[in-house]
Amino acid sequence: MQKRGKIGSSCIELDRDNFVFAKRITSTFIRKVTLISTFLLCSKFNAILAQSINFSVTPNTDLGLVYQTGLDFETERTIPRAFRLAFGAANLNLAVNAKVISTLNYGTELLSSDFYSIRLSNANTNVNNKFRRLYQLDFADQTILEHRGSNRGGSVYYDYDLIVAPVGYDIEPGQYFYSIVFTLSPQ
């Protein structure tokens, strides 16, 4: 009996230790699970945020320019209301950044990136005057617009003129293709 009692007593102590140990493990596990769940929820929230933005950039006309007369080469050329930035109704404040990339080049030399500029021509919403200036585009992103989101009303659009600086005569004949890339970031 004594031997059995000792054994029983020993077993009871061991169970208590296990209980405390198990309790600690469970607490840490719950914290970790909570942390991971929070990360996943935040990621999901971001994904939902990204997916809910209805944003498009659409050319309103042909964005190619042909150069063949002296006047073409020597003067600034403008494609009025060349493209439209459009936002669907969403209660988000967004910054629009723009940059230009030289993509394809069928001449033997690479053109510089600073030929293109854009300027807000027309919008169906109020725009801060500081975003109505001429923006000369470059390889680096620059903020050209701050869109104030609203759930009221329909979509909001911004029409832009595309302006090309005089190219001069030092550029070899050829076709030079560009991408003007617009990115949205939350404010």
Partner 1 sequence: MRKLFIIALLSPFFSNAQVLRTEAIFPFLDIRPVLDLSVVPKGNALFFEPKKDRDFLTGMSQKNAFSVEIKSNTNWQLTINSDAETFTNQATNMPSEISSEVIQLRQDKKTQYVALNTTPQVLATGGPGGSKSKENNFDLDLALLPGDYMESGGFQITLFFTLSSQ
Only segment of 1-9, 15-23, 35-43, 125-133 that touches partner 1 (CB under 8 A)? 35-43
Handedness of CA 132, 133, 134, 137 (dihedral sign): negative
Element (H, E) at 73: helix 70-74
Backbone phi, psi, residue 134, to 5°: -80, 130
Q: According to the binding rule CB under 8 A, does residue 55 interact with partner 1? A: yes
Dihedral sign from CA coordinates of 20, 25, 31, 37? negative
Q: Which is nearer to partner 1, 125 or 179 (CB)?
A: 179
Look-up of token digits 């061991």? 14
Is residue 38 within the footprint of partner 1 (CB under 8 A)?
yes
Query: Applying CB under 8 A, does 111 fall inside the site for partner 1?
Result: yes
Alpha carbon distance 88, 177 (integer Å)? 30
Q: How far is the CB of 117 from partner 1 (least distance, A)?
A: 12
Tokens of 185: 């970031």
Q: How many residues does the chain have?
A: 187
Q: Is 19 in the site for partner 1 (CB under 8 A)?
A: no
Q: Does 135 bind partner 1 (CB under 8 A)?
A: no
Q: Applying CB under 8 A, which of residues 46, 75, 91, 125 lies at the interface with partner 1?
A: 46
Residues that bind partner 1 (CB under 8 A): 31, 34-35, 38-39, 42, 45-46, 49-50, 53, 55-57, 59, 63-70, 73-74, 82-83, 94, 103, 107, 111, 115-116, 162, 164, 167-187
